[in-house]
Amino acid sequence: MLRRSLIIAALLAFATGCSTVKGWFGDKSGKALEPAELVEIANPVSPRQAWSRKLGDEKAALGLRQRPAIEGERLFVADDAGRVMALDLNTGATLWDSEVVRTGKEGSRLLFWRRKAIDGHVTGGPGVGNGMVVAGGRNGEVVALDAETGAERWRAQVTSEVIAAPLVAGDRVVVRSNDGRTFGLDVADGTRKWVFDRGLPTLSVRGNGEPVTDGNLVYLGYDDGTVIALRGSDGLMAWSQLVAEPEGRNELARMADVDGELAVGYTELYATSFAGQTLAISTQNGRPLWNRDTGGYSGLALLGDRVVLADPDGTLWALDRSSGSALWKQEGLARRWLTTPAVQGDFLVVGDVEGYLHWVRASDGTLAGRDRLGRDPIRATPQVSPTGVLLAIDSEGRLAAYPTPAQ
């Protein structure tokens, strides 16, 4: 689509490490816009890799913010060459990937499946649930695979590229396409049950936040600065709430995308906007509970009493869940284009433009440790398993697992 070809993809490609719009198009300040120099950490923890591996080759570089999905002892990943893979969470060993092949000694019941997942490119990370893995592609094709074997269950077609990971929730698979439409597909066979269509602004950040649910409603952030709540059964809108008003004299200044991960609490939803606003919303009626003039392009992490996010300048903020007041901020990672924070035990973990992972103490925001996954940007939010293992992947498919560091 021509409209999407004009979108500022470089915003989240982290190629420049710039922190201002002026810097994206060239700026004479040079070094002042480079990622902040990393300083020595006092009494650091020592994160260690339990295992690491490379997914695919250089031609299979991952797309925008594709993150792993975890279910039980399995890890599911996708790459931009059309492959979906299941890996052992504890070892990183491949359990199944593309074309169907049986391996093992004669008489063995151990099966490794290889099945072609999608014709073309997988552009959205995988969604997992109900024993299924679902991924979408550049041509709008959606494929559902059996999580245990990799066998194909069904295929469906939506109207545009799928960037966000699908949501598997109850009897629906919720899929966002890149033209503003969201589809509710039958979990059993992929037939289309409903479509929600919302117009898009002329210019926006390339990327769509993943649908999330509280078991009742499905929530989506949109490029016009709003959050929408849909009924999962029929796709009807329950409520809509503006997070940030698009303001400015031109389309660039008016970008207010809600593209990062939404955080669902008990009766509240938290959303942050590229325009620099964070909002707490009642899930019952969409009423704002509080707002804060701090926001960003990535999403939010939710802890017991606080919500944490990174702003465009690379400052990490912890905000009180009940009031939005700032509890602490960490400015030592300036201009590093941080991912959405992940919660690993007592730590928050973010990836950056230079391939570093940073461990930050959730209690007070102090820097606790770091490790370099590679030299390519980490764009996808790190994921944490129920056993506390952190999985991180960079833009060229380097994947590593980290147990929770000892204090």
Sequence ranges of the domains in the chain = 65-103+120-200
Other Cβ atoms less than 10 A from the Cβ of 305: the count is 10
Confidence at residue 8, expressed as pLDDT on a 0 to 100 scale:
42
In angstroms, the CA 194 to CA 101 distance is: 36
Q: For residue 50, name the pLDDT band (cuts at 50, 70, 90).
A: very high
Reply yes or no on whether the pLDDT at 20 is more than 70.
no
Mean pLDDT, to the nearest integer, of 351-362? Answer: 97
CA dihedral 290, 293, 299, 305 (to 10 degrees): -50
169 close to 130: Cβ distance less than 8 angstroms: no
pLDDT digits (tens, 9 = 90+) for 130-154: 999 999 888 899 999 999 999 999 9
393: helix, coil or strand? strand
Q: Which of 93, 141, 140 is nearest to 116 (CA)?
A: 141
What share of the chain in percent tops pLDDT 70?
77
Q: For residue 192, name the pLDDT band (cuts at 50, 70, 90).
A: very high
Other Cβ atoms less than 10 A from the Cβ of 18: the count is 23
DSSP 5: H
Give the pTM: 0.85
Confidence at residue 237, expressed as pLDDT on a 0 to 100 scale:
96
Q: Where are the beta strands (DSSP E) in 39-171?
A: 51-54, 69-71, 74-78, 84-88, 94-98, 113-115, 127-129, 132-136, 141-146, 152-157, 167-169
Q: For residue 260, name the pLDDT band (cuts at 50, 70, 90).
A: confident
Q: For residue 267, name the pLDDT band (cuts at 50, 70, 90).
A: very high
Mean pLDDT, to the nearest integer, of 236-259? Answer: 73
359 close to 351: Cβ distance less than 8 angstroms: no
What share of the chain in percent tops pLDDT 90?
62
Confidence at residue 198, expressed as pLDDT on a 0 to 100 scale:
83
Range with the poorest average pLDDT among 82-86, 192-196, 346-350: 82-86
Distance of CA 214 to the CA centre of its chain: 18
Reply yes or no on whether the pLDDT at 335 is more than 80.
yes
**202 vs 238 pLDDT, higher one:** 238
Amino acid in position 146: D
Confidence at residue 184, expressed as pLDDT on a 0 to 100 scale:
97
In angstroms, the CA 273 to CA 75 distance is: 30
Confidence at residue 271, expressed as pLDDT on a 0 to 100 scale:
93
In angstroms, the CA 377 to CA 356 distance is: 8
DSSP 306-350: EEEEE-TTS-EEEEETTT--EEEEE-TTTTS-PPPPEEETTEEEE
pLDDT digits (tens, 9 = 90+) for 270-319: 999 877 889 999 999 999 999 999 888 889 999 999 999 999 899 999 99
Reply yes or no on whether the pLDDT at 206 is more than 80.
no
Mean pLDDT, to the nearest integer, of 341-361? Answer: 97
Confidence at residue 317, expressed as pLDDT on a 0 to 100 scale:
97
Pairing of strands 113-115, 94-98: parallel
Mean pLDDT, to the nearest integer, of 227-247? Answer: 89
In angstroms, the CA 263 to CA 27 distance is: 35
pLDDT digits (tens, 9 = 90+) for 98-133: 632 333 333 333 334 444 445 555 666 899 999 999
Reply yes or no on whether the pLDDT at 167 is more than 80.
yes
Beta bridge partners of 185: 173, 192
Options 3.90.1150.10, 3.30.390.50, 2.40.128.630, 1.20.1110.10; CATH for 65-103+120-200 is 2.40.128.630
Reply yes or no on whether the pLDDT at 15 is more than 50.
no
* Average pLDDT of the residues of the chain: 83
226 close to 242: Cβ distance less than 8 angstroms: yes
Mean pLDDT, to the nearest integer, of 327-334? Answer: 97
DSSP 34-78: SPPPP-PPSS------SEEEE-S-GGG---TT---EEETTEEEEE
Q: What is the largest CA-CA distance in the chain?
A: 70
